[in-house]
Structure 1
């Protein structure tokens, strides 16, 4: 479940300064940065399609997502297998409702690229240290980790004419592809900090980042 982190946070990587961007990708990066400059919080509906290369199986899920400055985020997965991913900027939780299991991970121990990913609305000025960025067509920006990462081979972001992100597609080293599309986005609605905290319900098994059960 931890390995789902980067694909799910793909959206976050794009609010970045256009440093170290190829000439063809500079316009997209600058436009995206400008679009989110005045955004303090963001909420949207999302739909996610995951295609597993080895099995040719596609899994479709959907739900609601919330972001707030300071690395705060909340992904609510609906349907037969509800899940919750929450971060207050310091602690990241993965809660599988059906399995009654919650994984806790300190954001300080995440790899550099993931730390950048968590800071959605903070400018992400150092994103260029970890990703090569280039254009992949009109309204399209591609990011590739500078260091080999089995969980993230490349990330493709598509955006509208004003720079707001409409979809994020990630691919890992195995060729598995996850595409997340966003709709009904709302900016600066006063999302409360309380929704970015998580307390495991009674009876839920908590597992730390080392796999130890608490």
Structure 2
């Protein structure tokens, strides 16, 4: 059950990791500040810890691993514990590889285009501001700033609240809360901007013998 939940969360959230591709921010409105933070670098990589909190605040089993992301719409997200899983986007398709099941699922990458994570991924602040109220919750002298996105149409929204925590110009935590009060938390470590990427890092070829499931993504 934990694996199923975390996989679903990652498919929604993994693209959001590209919001680490930030830039220098000057004093301005929250929308303008977030626009600057979500635009800038072309690639990034980091280690991550991810966990879920239910409405009672109880924490589910952690997962951890590493990822690399690059514009536009490419990423490789590798979960190492408590199970091994790879999620890769080559820009056209998202591939989900579960080695223990010897199974690969492929879905169109553009199936995420209208989701909040995809808009964050692409730095579409104008579109985000049309669907969310964007506010800066706090900003301290040590450079820590918290931004909150709340949907203008809460009744039809997937997430009731998204929070982005920045330390200086780098995002360190992301939380997404659904209508049931469940939160998905993502904590980043060792963030590196514009690293030298290996050739083919965003390519994926299903392993020999793996069952391949084609998900139309509708």
TM-score by length of 2: 0.77
Distance change in 2, residues 1:204/1:160 (3 Å): same
Partner residue, 1:32: 37
Q: Which residue of the other structure, out of 88, 99, 103, is the alignment partner of 1:97?
A: 99
| Higher relative contact order structure (alpha carbons within 8 Å, sequence separation ≥ 6) | 1
Partner residue, 1:128: 129
Quote how far apart the aligned CAs of 1:80 are: 3.6
Distance change in 2, residues 1:106/1:118 (3 Å): farther
Contact 1:16-1:127 at 8 Å conserved across structures? no
Distance change in 2, residues 1:107/1:131 (3 Å): farther
Q: Which residue of the other structure, out of 185, 190, 193, is the alignment partner of 2:196?
A: 190
Deviations 1:84-113 (A, max 9, x none): 111112211122222222221112233512
Partner residue, 2:142: none
Specify every segment of 5 or more residues in structure 2 that has no aligned partner in the other structure, as ranges.
1-6, 140-144
Aligned residues: 198
Aligned-partner SS, 1:202: coil
Is 1:88 the equivalent of 2:93? no
Aligned-partner SS, 2:200: helix
Aligned-partner SS, 1:59: coil
Is 1:149 the equivalent of 2:157? yes
Contact 1:13-1:116 at 8 Å conserved across structures? no
Contact 1:135-1:141 at 8 Å conserved across structures? yes
Contact 1:46-1:62 at 8 Å conserved across structures? yes
Q: Which residue of the other structure, out of 183, 193, 208, is the alignment partner of 2:214?
A: 208
Specify every segment of 5 or more residues in structure 1 that has no aligned partner in the other structure, as ranges.
none
Q: Distance in 1 between matches of 2:58 and 2:82?
A: 21
Q: Distance in 1 between matches of 2:208 and 2:119?
A: 33
Q: Distance in 2 between matches of 1:192 and 1:130?
A: 37
Partner residue, 2:167: 160
Q: Which residue of the other structure, out of 18, 41, 49, is the alignment partner of 1:12?
A: 18
Quote how far apart the aligned CAs of 1:116 are: 2.1
Quote how far apart the aligned CAs of 1:153 are: 2.3
